[in-house]
Amino acid sequence: MNDSILANIDDGLVILVVGILIVFFSLLLLFIFFQYVVPFVFNLIKRKSRKEEGQAVQTKSAKVSSGEEIAAVAAAVYLYLEETHDLENPIITISKSPKDYSPWSSKIYTTHTVLRTGLKY
């Protein structure tokens, strides 16, 4: 081995070891961040927002205090529950009719029907 190679070997070894360690360290940091820090922060934010929601409901309910307000809310709830029968199934299904003819789509039916307007021709 010549002198120039020997001279480079020490530096090379240092770069080899330090280089591998730094690459591992930087990607390890990314790993730690996304494995532990991000979920922790997300959980924290979630917990906080849940807490705030709870508080918001509490303060709202605390505001309803007078008898008139309670009666108004009760009336609204009663009316709502009474009208539930008006709720229809929002799912609309279009099924093809087996028959070709329908008075709803008949031109002749509509043009030949005497109009009940009281007018005489």
Partner 1 sequence: MVTISGLVFSQGSSAVESAGTNSLIDQAINGVQRFLSYTGFYNVMLGNVIMIVVALVFIWLAIKYDYEPLLLIPIGTGIIIGNIPFVGGNQIGIYESGSVLNYLYFGVVKGIYPPLIFLGIGAMTDFSSLISNPKLILLGAAAQIGVFLTFFGAILLGFNLAEAGAIGIIGGADGPTAIFISSKLVNGLKGTQNLIGPIAIAAYSYMALVPVIQPPIMRLLTGKDERLIRMKPPRVVSKTEKIIFPIIGLLLTTFISPSALPLLGMLFFGNLLKESGRTERLAETARTKMIDIVTILLGVTVGASTQADVFLTWVSIKIFMLGAASFIVATAGGVLFAKFMNIFLRGDNKINPLIGAAGVSAVPDSARVVQLMGQKYDKNNHLLMHAMAPNVSGVIGSAVAAGILLSFLG
Q: What's the one-letter identity of residue 21?
A: L
Stretch that binds partner 1, among 3-11, 52-60, 68-76, 87-95 (CB under 8 A): 3-11
Interface residues for partner 1 in 37-96 (CB under 8 A)?
A: 38, 42
Per CB under 8 A, the list member of 3, 25, 103, 119 interacting with partner 1 is: 25
- How many Å separate Cα 118 from the centre of its chain? 57
105 alpha-carbon distance from chain centroid: 42
Distance CA 60, CA 55 (A): 9
**3-state secondary structure (DSSP) of residue 37:** helix
Q: Which stretch binds partner 1 (CB under 8 A): 5-13, 64-72, 73-81, 105-113?
A: 5-13
Rounded distance between C-alpha atoms, residue 114 and residue 93, angstroms: 34
Q: Does 97 bind partner 1 (CB under 8 A)?
A: no
Q: What residue spans of the chain are helical by DSSP H?
A: 3-32, 38-63, 67-82, 107-112
12 forms part of the interface with partner 1 (CB under 8 A): yes
Report, in Å, the least distance between residue 16 CB and partner 1: 5
In whole angstroms, how close is the CB of 40 to partner 1 at the nearest point?
13
What is the binding site for partner 1 (CB under 8 A)? 1-2, 4-5, 8-9, 11-13, 15-16, 18-20, 22-31, 33-35, 38, 42
